[in-house]
Chain A
């Protein structure tokens, strides 16, 4: 498993591309949420999903 990314590094790298104006006062809370998400994602991606498992969003052609 790779090391979960540093939330502050994610904010620095990705926030400018979103166009969201981040008040410095909000940064710690955003980082805390990202840290939780990163830990969840690391655990999820450690699960050996078979290649044949497709995503499950809803889309029906013709509707």
Chain B
């Protein structure tokens, strides 16, 4: 097997090859750097490449192996991070023009430290929508990240470079953030697995915030076992993130192989059955057929939940960016700026109602989970649209595309429930579309079990796109 082909394996597979002596970490690092050089001019997934750092880490791993030391679980697996995560010595641009005037980060994000401690090789920072206020993966300053399965199409945002890097074979695992859908949307458009953990489960320490009431971080990957391995590697409390839980860690280990016997799984109706397109219908039907799911559950008031998340996002993000809106409004992406300025004008009562509604909706969801263990819904109404698309027709009505990409993801992250986005490839569709596997708080293990069942049966998969095809 050539080194370049080896990069199409998942992280666990590459770590196994390294552990078995099939190749060195240095060779893997060089192959990954060369592949980024070859493919990134088209995919535009990376904004910063940390080649020297990857080479140094690889040399250390090769020395460990030569000494006969125990090797960490993700040893020599290339990974990368959305460019809102701090990388020491690199400017944390957070997709913006303004923040690139900041000095380079003085330290690494907590999750970067933990992934490296697990042996993964950091390759760099990834393109994203400005300040994470985006569902398209387009960026006014750095250009759009491009979907590896069709480079004329969107990656989805805001972790667009993360989806593009994983589906394009430039990284085995990419870290993203998800406030309203920004891990699940690029997973859907790019055909990768994605894990948005329970709110507070993984540390946001030393990452640039967006809406701290709703911000989550997590991995995108090409296999369920990679989601589980990276999730386990990143678990743990962190004083740097006030929202990070002090709850004891609950590693998934190999628990994702536990099967689905006894799990009460239902598809979501109501709000989640509106706005459908043929591809989201087909993807959900495929998942339900594979899992034998016929039950339908209703998550009441999901439309209001989505609206409440929308208002909290506008108001909190506007307050965060107020100094920049006052001082450098012309340096924002216009689409982001106009929403932020509007957010700065929201009456306080609107936002407080939204925060109180959050509690109500969380309790309503808990009631639904008394009757069901797992809920399924599409991640997006549509598969990846062509770059530059402005409108979409849903239920016969032409609507602005951007906000409507997240109609199914927003109500779920609003109450912090863990979700695995599972990539499906319905027959007759050129592009993938993910289904959300939604479970109760702190039960990531259940979502990974369901995702693994779909992967094991060949229904879900996250292939590396053929480059230049």
Partners in one complex: yes
Residues of B within 8 A of A63 (CB): 242, 246
Known: A21-B326, A23-B329, A56-B362. A30 touches B338 (CB 8 A): yes
- In the complex, A8 Cα to B128 Cα: how many Å? 32
**CB of B389 within 8 Å of the partner chain:** no
Q: B360: nearest residue on chain A (CB-CB)?
A: A53
**Count of chain A residues with Cβ under 8 Å from any Cβ of B?**
36
- In the complex, A55 Cα to B353 Cα: how many Å? 8
B353 close to A56 (CB less than 8 A): no
A37 close to B213 (CB less than 8 A): no
**CB of A24 within 8 Å of the partner chain:** no
Residues of A within 8 A of B349 (CB): 45
**CB of B344 within 8 Å of the partner chain:** yes
Among B99-107, B259-267, B300-308, B374-382, the stretch that binds chain A is B300-308
B135 CB, min distance to chain A CBs, angstroms: 15
Known: A21-B329, A29-B334, A63-B242. A58 touches B357 (CB 8 A): no
**CB of B354 within 8 Å of the partner chain:** yes
A44 close to B308 (CB less than 8 A): yes
1/0 per residue, CB under 8 A from A, across B227-244: the answer is: 000000000000000110
- B337's contact among A26, A53, A60, by CB below 8 Å, is which? A26
Residues of A within 8 A of B304 (CB): 43-44, 47
Known: A33-B338, A44-B357. A20 touches B344 (CB 8 A): yes
Q: A59: nearest residue on chain B (CB-CB)?
A: B242
B345 close to A10 (CB less than 8 A): yes
- In the complex, A42 Cα to B345 Cα: how many Å? 15
Residues of B within 8 A of A53 (CB): 356-357, 359-360
**CB of B60 within 8 Å of the partner chain:** no
Interface of B is mostly: helix
A56 close to B344 (CB less than 8 A): no
- In the complex, A55 Cα to B310 Cα: how many Å? 16
B301 close to A47 (CB less than 8 A): yes
A37 close to B310 (CB less than 8 A): yes
B321 CB, min distance to chain A CBs, angstroms: 10
Which A residues between 5 and 54 are near B, CB-CB below 8 angstroms?
5, 10-11, 14-15, 18-23, 26, 29-34, 36-37, 40-41, 43-45, 47, 49-50, 53-54
- In the complex, A21 Cα to B344 Cα: how many Å? 12
Which B residues between 325 and 382 are near A, CB-CB below 8 angstroms?
325-326, 329-330, 334, 337-339, 341-347, 349-350, 352-360, 362
A18 CB, min distance to chain B CBs, angstroms: 5
**CB of B200 within 8 Å of the partner chain:** yes
Residues of A within 8 A of B353 (CB): 41, 44-45, 49
**CB of B311 within 8 Å of the partner chain:** yes
Residues of A within 8 A of B47 (CB): none
List 25 contacting pairs A-B, 8 Å CB cutoff, sorted by A: A5-B347, A10-B345, A14-B345, A15-B341, A20-B344, A23-B329, A30-B338, A30-B341, A33-B314, A33-B339, A33-B342, A34-B345, A36-B310, A40-B307, A40-B308, A41-B346, A43-B303, A44-B307, A44-B357, A45-B350, A50-B360, A56-B356, A56-B359, A56-B362, A58-B242
Residues of A within 8 A of B (CB): 5, 10-11, 14-15, 18-23, 26, 29-34, 36-37, 40-41, 43-45, 47, 49-50, 53-58, 60, 63
The 7 closest A-B pairs by CB, nearest first: A33-B342, A40-B307, A55-B355, A29-B338, A41-B350, A56-B359, A56-B358
10 more CB-based (< 8 A) A-B contacts, given A36-B403, A44-B350, A45-B349: A21-B326, A21-B329, A26-B337, A33-B338, A34-B342, A37-B342, A37-B350, A41-B347, A44-B304, A58-B243
